[in-house]
Amino acid sequence: MTSTAATPGASRNASPYLYGEEAVAVSRVLETGQYGHTDVTEEFERRIAEFLGVPDAVAVMSGTAALHAALLAAEVGPGHEVVVPSMTFCATAQVILAVGATPRFVDIDPATLCVTDQLVLDAVTDRTRAVMPVLFGGRAVDLCRVRKELAARNVSIIEDAAHAFGSRYDSRRVGATGDLTCFSFGPIKNLTCGQGGIVVPRTRTEADTVRRIRLLGVVQSQAERAQATSYHVSSFGLRYQMSSINAAIGLAQLPHFEKAKTTRRILWRAYRRALAPLDRVTLVDVDPDRSVPHLCQVRVPRRDKVFAQMQARGIGVGVHYPPNHLQPAFAQWRRVLPATEQVAGEILTLPFHQHLTETDIDQVVTTLGQVLQTVGAASCARS
Ligand X SMILES: *Cc1c(COP(=O)(O)O)cnc(C)c1O
**By the criterion CB under 6 A, which residues form the site for ligand X?**
62-64, 88-89, 91-92, 134, 160, 162-163, 184, 186, 197
CA 337 to chain centre: 22
The residue (of 70 and 162) whose beta carbon lies closer to ligand X is: 162
Minimum gap (Å) between residue 236 Cβ and ligand X: 20
Q: Which of 30, 59, 33, 34 is nearest to 44 (CA)?
A: 59
Radius of gyration of the chain (CA): 21
Q: Which residue is nearest to ligand X (CB)?
A: 63
Side-chain-facing half-sphere of 295: CA atoms under 13 Å? 27
Q: Which of 347, 356, 343 is nearest to 271 (CA)?
A: 356
The residue (of 196 and 365) whose beta carbon lies closer to ligand X is: 196
Judge whether 189 counts as a catalytic residue: yes
The residue (of 134 and 260) whose beta carbon lies closer to ligand X is: 134
Query: Rounded to whole angstroms, how far apart are CA atoms 63 and 42?
Result: 17
- 147, 158 in Cβ contact below 8 A? no
DSSP 255: G
- Residue 148 in 3-state DSSP? helix
Minimum gap (Å) between residue 381 Cβ and ligand X: 38
> CA dist 299 to 93, 369, 371, Å?
24, 13, 14
Catalytic residue, chosen from 148, 189, 259, 305, is: 189
Q: Which of 244, 207, 272 is nearest to 32 (CA)?
A: 244
The residue (of 141 and 365) whose beta carbon lies closer to ligand X is: 141
Minimum gap (Å) between residue 183 Cβ and ligand X: 9
- 197, 65 in Cβ contact below 8 A? yes
Minimum gap (Å) between residue 285 Cβ and ligand X: 17
Minimum gap (Å) between residue 19 Cβ and ligand X: 20
Active site residues: 189
